[in-house]
Amino acid sequence: MLTSKTVNEFINELASSSPAPGGGSVASLAGALGAALTSMVCNLTIGKKKYAGVQAEMESVVKQSEKLRSSLTALIDEDTNAFNAVMSSFAMPKETEAQKNERTAAIQHATKNATVIPLRVMQLCEQMLPFVRLIAEKGNVNSISDAGVAALMLHAACMSAKLNVQINLGSLLDAEFVRKTGVQIDEIGERMERECQNILRHVNESLNTYQ
């Protein structure tokens, strides 16, 4: 499993001439990092006298961000597995007509799965946003930069996952799925762009007051 490798090994494998892991797994990892930072800010707020008033809210957020972190972490490996399945389907024999049909069906099936996984990453990143906004507005102000980094990581994760959906949509024959998914990723992408900018504007204002 990729997540059982050391950080160094993961980065080395990424740089290598093997196409997997690639941008899809990096997208999931960036999402997991954003969720983990959100949990960290909650954990650095909980139990502090100054923040007693938001203790319950922070405890509720950390529960949810930990759940999303776990899902996003699992998708690091799932994306690479999905990519490898696409590669395997392309390697299937294509001599007889029956083999050709079987191969095409396998490629379509595997590619659809490789589209659904980054789409899931986009959805999970979007689900994180209310929590990131909350830690930016009410979390420990000493960690305000970490709240901003969480927003930036989730933004990069979501937009990276979008590129991975797009490149896979290009090889799918199911026109209705392609159309619907295309609309879906555009909508998530726009909401993500807007909300991350709002959060980052707030972080920058807080940083100016902090100084």
**Per-residue string for binding with a second copy, 149-168, x by CB under 8 A?**
xx-xx-xx--xx--xx-xx-
The helix (H) or strand (E) run that includes residue 28 is helix 23-43
Window 11-30: residues binding a second copy (CB under 8 A): 11-12, 14-17, 19, 22-23, 26-27, 29-30
Residue 140 token pair = 């420990």
Long-range contacts from 53-62, C-beta under 8 angstroms, 24+ separation: 54/138, 54/139, 57/134, 57/138, 58/135, 58/138, 58/139, 61/131, 61/134, 61/135, 62/38
- Only one of the segments 69-77, 90-98, 102-110, 128-136 lies at the binding site for a second copy (rule: CB under 8 A); that segment is 69-77
**Per-residue string for binding with a second copy, 85-124, x by CB under 8 A?**
----------------------------------------
Distant-in-sequence, close-in-space partners of 42: CB < 8 Å, separation ≥ 6: 58, 59, 61, 62, 65, 135, 139
Residue 179 token pair = 């159309």
Toward a second copy, which CB reaches closer, 40 or 117? 40
Catalog residues that contact a second copy under the rule CB under 8 A: 2-8, 10-12, 14-17, 19, 22-23, 26-27, 29-30, 32-33, 35-37, 39-40, 43-44, 46, 66, 69, 73, 76, 142-146, 148-150, 152-153, 155-156, 159-160, 163-164, 166-167, 169-170, 200, 203, 207, 210-211
